[in-house]
């Protein structure tokens, strides 16, 4: 029996209609997918959220087990895995790298074309991360380049544990999706950069507010002695360079002021001078203060924190009391100085930084090196351009200028008026050895302004009275009395310093810390005072 031509024709037409309907339905589904993804990503400014929304919508049309976004990293010149959405457990971490050669991601990125892999071949793509994906069970993939405004940014990666899971038609659809995602990623990166800049500016604002409130924030360098002029000449010489500077000097000599002068004369003066006193930070927290930490890096790390090296990018970092940095932390500091890079605590991502370092210390670092308390390689890296700030006793001719400056400064703050300073007061101040240096002098003058009831500065200090007594005895010509007095009075600097610290400790009932403690009255850090007490063998009497 021969087929009826009319029946055969009708059947063919029916199949064509069904095929057209299926094609139209598929096109409708594809169009709906593009619309869903566009709506899903257009308002998102986080890469993880963008990828998750894309993967969730895409899985309805193109089943897959893994989706990822990789972006080009200009520093490593590789593709860095920024976010991924997995349907299986894996120990892959964000930040992993795809080389441009030896990975399908690198091929798609460099040639700006989709790469469809039916059966993953490790001989063709031997990159470590691809080998890791193979061990996780992935067997096929479709990688699409992310291109926005004619600029290749990275790749969109879709993978499956089944072989030959993706077709050329899927690649075509994913190319249209990738165009939408590329714009969303570009917006997310711009938002991230703006947010980081905003956080950085907020951190700088908080830091600068703290600096404004700093107790010893000198407005300018006061003095015209030869010793000070030599230091200022060194400051002028080194300021225009980016060399590391090591400022040495006793506590209270104005090392921070010299550091500020170097920064203000440098090309970095428009950026922040960030300061960290290494002796004031507990040892366990110092690494976090220097390099920052990620959320959850340690107990109590409730949020991400930017470290001082990151905060001082393009500016200057002053590390005061650098001799207090723990020995085990010193190699990390040396690496930053040599490589200009570091990692936050709890992160494997390397951060580049451009920082000019100024270190300050009242310790003999060379002696600490000999005692194996300070690394020799770090010392030589810091000691590029040493500046020694002279103690106040070596620039006694600057004392009248300093006294006048501090008297006016504190008189204005207290709404008082100081018009005259007795010559006897200036002479007594000039004879005193000032173991606490300029900081101690300011404390004495501030106390004098408080005690002054008229317009004449009144300074009362037992040590000055003793110095005046010695002077009077010599002027009276009573040689025997003078010799007796000198025999009872300390003569060397160490003896004078020890006697002065003992007097202050006794006055404070041997209370060292706190606003009324001996350290505060001497203008010293508590740790510095304890160090001096050990050095001078000062112990509390039983």
Give the model confidence (pLDDT) of 290-329 as tens digits. 998 887 777 666 777 888 998 899 999 999 999 989 999 9
Positive/negative CA dihedral, 277, 279, 281, 285: positive
Higher pLDDT, 470 or 168: 168
Residue 330's nearest CA partner among 365, 280, 297 is 365
Mean of pLDDT over the chain: 80
Give the model confidence (pLDDT) of 447-480 as tens digits. 889 888 888 888 875 445 554 444 444 444 443 4
Which domains are delineated in the chain? 24-190 (3.30.450.40), 214-388 (3.40.50.300), 393-535 (1.10.8.60)
| DSSP H/E element including 301 | none
Give the model confidence (pLDDT) of 190-221 as tens digits. 777 776 666 666 555 555 544 443 333 334 68
Taking 50 as the threshold, does the pLDDT of residue 483 lie above it?
Answer: no
Pairing of strands 356-361, 151-160: unpaired
CB 247 within 8 A of CB 358: yes
Tokens found for residue 19: 């095929």
Least confident of 339-348, 353-362, 480-489: 480-489
* Model pTM score: 0.53
Taking 80 as the threshold, does the pLDDT of residue 174 lie above it?
Answer: yes
Which runs of E-coded beta strand occur in 294-418?
A: 305-306, 316-320, 341-343, 350-352, 356-361, 385-388
Query: What are residue 350's DSSP bridge partners?
Result: 343
Q: What is the DSSP letter of 176?
A: H
- In this predicted structure, what is the pLDDT of residue 347? 82
- In this predicted structure, what is the pLDDT of residue 38? 64
Tokens found for residue 367: 């002696």
Pairing of strands 245-248, 385-388: parallel
Taking 80 as the threshold, does the pLDDT of residue 269 lie above it?
Answer: yes
- In this predicted structure, what is the pLDDT of residue 458? 85
Query: What are residue 343's DSSP bridge partners?
Result: 350
Q: What is the DSSP letter of 329?
A: G
């Amino acid at each position: 029996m021969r087929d009826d031509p009319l029946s055969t024709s009708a059947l063919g037409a029916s199949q064509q209609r069904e095929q057209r309907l299926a094609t139209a339905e598929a096109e409708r589904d594809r169009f709906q997918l593009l619309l869903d993804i566009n709506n899903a990503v257009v308002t998102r400014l986080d890469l993880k959220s963008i990828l998750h929304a894309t993967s969730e919508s895409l899985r309805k049309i193109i089943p897959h087990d893994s989706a990822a976004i990789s972006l080009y990293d200009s520093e490593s010149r590789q593709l860095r895995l920024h976010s991924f959405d997995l349907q299986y457990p894996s120990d892959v971490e964000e930040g992993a790298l795809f080389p441009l050669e030896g990975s399908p991601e690198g091929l798609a990125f460099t040639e700006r074309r989709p790469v469809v892999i039916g059966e993953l071949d490790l001989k063709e793509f031997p990159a470590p991360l691809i080998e890791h994906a193979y061990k996780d069970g992935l067997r096929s993939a479709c990688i699409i380049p992310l291109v926005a405004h004619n600029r290749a940014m990275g790749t969109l990666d879709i993978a499956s544990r089944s072989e030959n899971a993706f077709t050329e038609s899927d690649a075509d659809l994913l190319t249209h999706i990738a165009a939408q995602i590329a714009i969303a990623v570009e917006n997310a990166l711009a938002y991230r950069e703006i947010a980081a800049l905003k956080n950085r500016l907020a951190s700088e604002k908080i830091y600068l507010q703290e600096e404004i409130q700093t107790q010893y924030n000198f407005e300018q360098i006061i003095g015209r002695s030869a010793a000070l002029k030599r230091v200022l000449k060194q400051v002028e010489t080194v300021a225009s360079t980016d060399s590391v500077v090591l400022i040495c000097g006793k506590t209270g000599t104005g090392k921070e002021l010299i550091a500020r002068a170097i920064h203000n004369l440098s090309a970095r003066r428009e950026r922040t001078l960030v300061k960290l006193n290494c002796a004031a930070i507990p040892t366990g927290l110092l690494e976090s203060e220097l390099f920052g930490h990620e959320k959850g890096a340690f107990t109590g790390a409730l949020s991400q924190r930017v470290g001082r090296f990151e905060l001082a990018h393009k500016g200057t970092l002053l590390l005061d009391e650098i001799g207090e940095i723990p020995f085990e932390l010193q190699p990390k500091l040396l690496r930053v100085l040599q490589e200009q890079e570091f990692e936050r605590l709890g992160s494997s991502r390397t951060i580049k930084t451009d920082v000019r370092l100024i270190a300050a210390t009242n310790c003999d670092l060379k002696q600490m090196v000999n005692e194996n308390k300070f690394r020799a390689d770090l010392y030589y890296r810091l000691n590029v351009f040493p500046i020694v700030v002279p103690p106040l006793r070596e620039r006694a001719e600057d004392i009248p200028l300093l006294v006048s400056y501090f008297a006016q400064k504190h008189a204005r703050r207290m709404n008082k008026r100081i018009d005259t300073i007795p010559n006897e007061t200036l002479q007594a101040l000039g004879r005193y050895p000032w173991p606490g240096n300029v900081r101690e002098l300011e404390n004495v003058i501030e106390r004098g302004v408080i005690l002054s009831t008229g317009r004449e500065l009144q300074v009362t200090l037992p040590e000055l009275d003793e110095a005046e007594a010695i002077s009077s005895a010599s002027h009276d010509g009573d040689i025997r009395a003078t010799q007796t007095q000198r025999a009872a009075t300390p003569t060397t600097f160490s003896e004078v310093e020890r006697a002065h610290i003992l007097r202050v400790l006794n006055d404070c009932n041997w209370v060292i810390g706190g606003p009324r403690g001996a350290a505060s009255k001497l203008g010293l850090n508590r740790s510095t005072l304890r160090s001096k007490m050990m050095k001078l063998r000062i112990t509390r009497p039983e």
